[in-house]
Chains A and B, each alone.
Chain A
Amino acid sequence: MSPSRFRGVDFLHESMIAVVRHPGRSLLTAVGTVLSAAAFVCTLGLSSTLDHQVSSSFDVRRATEVLVRPEQASLDPAWQDGTALARLTGLHGVVAAGARLSLDGDRTVQRSSRAGDTEIRTRIIGADSGALRVMSPSLTAGRYFDGFIPGQAERVVMLPRSLARELGITRTQVAVFIGAESYTVIGIYDDVARRPEALQAILMPLLSAEELRQPGGEDTRDVVIETQPGAAQLIGGQAALAMLPTEPQALRAVAPPDPRLLRQEIEGNVARSSLLISVIALVIGAVSIANATTAGIAARTQEIGLRRAVGARRRHVFVQLLGETTTLGLLGGVLGAFLGVCLTLGISLANRWVPVIDLRTALLASGICAGAGLLAGFVPAIRALRIQPVAALQR
């Protein structure tokens, strides 16, 4: 007489049959792993999709912009004078640079000096020709105000189209009144390449803006710089020293974050949070398999007793239960990974993103779920060891 045996092929067949012939029971048992695998694949898929989205839509122009501001508003305005700007534009990587003055508070702007005529309140930004070039307003009518006689305060303005419309202005070479003074509208624009605050302000030559300063007003001065692509970080580090060599710490240069760093940061954050979500889901999945299978042991006492009665050894019952929970985990993982991929595709399509899914995450999710199923199987399998063959006879 040969000892009882449980061949590998029989083990696989029994594990599979126990799972697929009771689909309802299996689905309820494995629902935790389905959800965890779906969460794992979907969060990683969405994060890589979003990452792709961020890097492809990353504003190239914004990445070539540096802003320099004094730490204290009271700093001598000489920091942004012509010589300082000349030193700045001498730096390798600077395309253009210019000084700006944003006047404190909103000013009243009217179409005419008559009382009761349409009036709006808006900010006023003075810009020299360099700053204007950096901001690059997109003209819909008229022209820029550069090319005037240096040192002379021309009474001209450029209006964003939204303000022009509010004022009822559709063409250039008309007058607007700021306070009591009249200015000629020489250009209307609908967008700017840099510094979007210019879309909600009137632009005028720097010297003209200087004349409109009011005593005690907290006007802000800054210097805007356009750099060559990729040089923003470098220029950001050099600008303060170039402009104010005696006191560089009085100036602060703000460069946009390095897109590569930003991307790594996003990847890191998303990967960490999705990993956390998935681990939590996975633990829940494993616990739910262990719990449901252990609860199911009571209902299967007679089956296990029968197997023992027809010759199964304890270890055969033990490995069979491990095989069943591993199969459940694996199938749950595969189903969940499939759902996760579908979910990622659905969300991406709904948002018109290009879905970027690493299918290795689906394989990984399935593998991890199978491992969780294996671990979860130890609880019911150890409990099943106590079942005696006599149990099969009990009525």
Chain B
Amino acid sequence: MLELRAATKTYDDGHPVHALRETSLTVEEGDYVAITGASGSGKSTLLNLLGLLDVPTTGSYRVLGLPAHELAESHRGAVRGQVFGFIFQNFHLLNGRSALENVELGMLYGPYNRRERRRRAWETVERLGLAHRALADPRRMSGGERQRVAVARAVAGRPRVLFCDEPTGNLDSANTATVLDTLRGLNEEGLTVVVVTHDPGVAAEGRRRIEVSDGTVTEVEVPA
């Protein structure tokens, strides 16, 4: 499903920084991949490349067989919007809009019209047990509720892959457990999940474990 081949990422600000050394990585449909590593190890760079938020300096990246590294930014945007979903450590919900409207925002630039977006948003909010909070402003929600709204926003458009950047970094243990349950449930329904974390408990959820250290990517065997 996702196929990174001999990809590198170098930032050149006067003197070059090798954020990611030559890496090959394949993610199959239905995988639950945990990416771990220290701060500055390059795990965010890897997530940006996989999520098409950035392009590799060298090498190739195929999404569903499409040569994503050759696509124009506008097409990469379409892939991000319709094939991928994203959740972030800071939720990035828009204040002044209800939870439902935030969920709809995830589908704004996609193929569905307003009515269809609203229908799907409701359906997703109900499925994630947020129906009672659907009309609340994010500023009046707990961290766990906000992150579940963010998850709903990411998955309402039925993406194939969900990218999570430190999804529980701002949550207490009870809310972390709820969000992890949600992610596990979505994965069991067939959604491919890629999680970047430095929380071993979160990483333990993954059926595959990728460790990034100094820009080098290693797959760690997970005991069955």
Q: Which residues of A contact B (CB under 8 A)?
A: 1-7, 9-10, 13-14, 17, 21-22, 302-303, 306-314, 316, 388-390, 392-393, 395
User: Smallest distance from the beta carbon of A6 to chain B beta carbons, Å?
Assistant: 6
Q: List 18 A-B contacts (CB under 8 A).
A: A1-B83, A3-B74, A10-B114, A17-B96, A17-B97, A17-B101, A303-B94, A309-B53, A309-B80, A310-B106, A310-B153, A311-B78, A311-B108, A312-B108, A313-B109, A388-B53, A390-B48, A395-B90
The answer to whether B77 touches A392 (Cβ under 8 A) is no
CA distance A9 to B112 in the complex (A): 13
B92 touches A390 (CB 8 A): no
Please determine whether B79 and A1 come into contact, CB atoms closer than 8 angstroms: yes
Q: With A4-B110, A6-B109 in contact, do A303 and B81 touch (Cβ < 8 Å)?
A: no
> Digit string of B55-80 for contact with A (CB within 8 Å is 1, else 0)?
00000000000000000011101111
Q: Find chain A residues with CB under 8 A from B110 CB.
A: 2, 4-5, 311
Alpha-carbon distance between A306 and B74 when the two chains are bound, in angstroms: 15
Query: Which listed residue, B82, B97, B169, touches A311 by the CB 8 Å rule?
Result: B82
Is the beta-carbon distance between A21 and B88 smaller than 8 angstroms? Answer: no
CB pair A5 B111 closer than 8 Å: yes
Q: Check B83–A14 contact: CB distance below 8 A.
A: no
Q: Which of B75, B96, B169 contacts A3 (CB 8 A)?
A: B75
A313 / chain B contacts, CB cutoff of 8 Å: 73-74, 77, 109
* Given A313-B74, A393-B44, A4 and B81 contact (CB-CB distance below 8 Å): yes
Q: Are B88 and A311 in contact (CB under 8 A)?
A: no
In the bound complex, do residue B108 and residue A310 qualify as a contact, i.e. CB atoms below 8 Å apart?
A: yes
> Is B105 positioned at the interface, with any CB of A under 8 Å from its CB?
yes
**Residues of the A chain whose Cβ atoms lie less than 8 Å from the Cβ of B82:** 1-2, 311
User: Chain B residues near A392 (CB, 8 Å)?
Assistant: 53, 86, 88, 92
Beta-carbon contact of A390 and B108 below 8 Å: no
Q: CB distance A6 to B108 under 8 Å?
A: yes
Q: How far is the CA of A239 from the CA of B48 in the complex (A)?
A: 94
Q: Which residue from chain B places its CB closest to the CB of A6 in the assembled complex?
A: B109
Question: Contacts A21-B96, A309-B53 known; A4 to B77 CB distance under 8 Å?
Answer: yes
Min CB distance A17 to B, Å, is: 7
Closest chain A residue to B159 by CB distance?
A310
Report B111-144 CB contacts with A as 1/0, cut-off 8 Å: 1011000000000000000000000000000000
When the two chains form the complex, which single residue of B81, B108, B166 contacts A14, counting CB atoms closer than 8 Å?
B108
* B23 part of interface (Cβ distance < 8 Å): no
Residue of chain B at shortest CB distance from A10: B108
Among B44, B74, B81, B89, contact of A310 (Cβ-Cβ < 8 Å): B81
- Tell whether A21 pairs with B97 under 8 Å between CB atoms, given A3-B74, A9-B114, A309-B53: yes
Question: A312 to chain B: closest CB distance in Å?
Answer: 5
Contact status B92-A302, CB under 8 Å? yes
Closest Cβ–Cβ distance, residue A234 to chain B (whole Å) = 70
Q: Is the CB of A395 within 8 A of B77?
A: no
Q: How many residues of B contact A (CB 8 A)?
A: 38
Interface readout for B2-16 with A: 1 if CB under 8 Å, 0 if not? Answer: 000000000000000
For residue B138, give the distance in angstroms from its CB to the closest CB of chain A: 12
- Quote the shortest CB–CB distance from B36 to chain A (angstroms): 17
Given contacts A1-B79, A309-B86, A311-B82, contact A316 B73 (CB under 8 A): no
Given contacts A302-B92, A303-B94, A389-B53, contact A7 B113 (CB under 8 A): yes
Nearest-CB distance from B46 to chain A (Å)? 12
Most B CB within 10 A of own CB, among A2, A303, A313, A388: A313
Chain B contacts for A312, CB-based, 8 A: 77, 81, 108-109
**Contact partners of A309 in chain B: CB under 8 A:** 51, 53, 80, 86
Contact indicator B86/A310 (Cβ below 8 Å):
yes
In the bound complex, residues from chain A placing their C-beta under 8 Å from that of B51 are: 309
Which residues of the partner chain A approach B92 to less than 8 Å between Cβ atoms? 302-303, 306, 392
Cβ of B48 and Cβ of A393 under 8 Å apart?
A: yes
Nearest 7 A/B pairs, CB to CB: A311-B81, A21-B96, A311-B109, A4-B109, A389-B53, A4-B78, A306-B92
Q: Is B177 an interface residue (CB 8 A)?
A: no
Interface core residue of B48, B80, B153 (most chain A CB under 10 Å): B80
Is the CB of B25 closer than 8 A to any CB of chain A? Answer: no
Q: How far is the CA of A121 from the CA of B88 in the complex (A)?
A: 95
A21-B96, A310-B109 known; A389 vs B79 contact (CB < 8 Å): no
- The residue of chain A having its C-beta at the shortest distance from the C-beta of B82 within the complex is A1
In the complex, A3→B97 CA distance in Å?
26
Output the nearest chain B residue to A300 by Cβ-Cβ distance. Answer: B94
Instruction: Give Cα distance in the complex from A18 to B165, angstroms.
Output: 27
Nearest Cβ on chain B to A27's Cβ, whole angstroms: 14
Q: Is the CB of B54 within 8 A of A390?
A: yes
Q: State the Cβ distance, B139 to closest chain A Cβ, in Å.
A: 12
- Residues of chain A within 8 A of B79, CB atoms compared: 1
What separation, in Å, do the CA atoms of A392 and B86 have in the docked complex?
Answer: 10
User: A388 contacts which chain B residues (CB < 8 A)?
Assistant: 53-54
Residues on B with C-beta less than 8 A from A393 are: 44, 47-48, 53, 86, 88, 165
A388 and B105 CA atoms in complex are apart in Å by: 18
Q: Which residues of B contact A306 (CB under 8 A)?
A: 92, 94, 105
Closest to A13 in B: B114
Contact partners of A9 in chain B: CB under 8 A: 114
A316 near B109: Cβ-Cβ < 8 Å: yes
Known: A2-B82, A311-B78. A395 touches B166 (CB 8 A): yes
Closest to B106 in A: A310
Please name all residues of chain A whose beta carbon is closer than 8 Å to the beta carbon of B89 when the two chains form the complex: 395
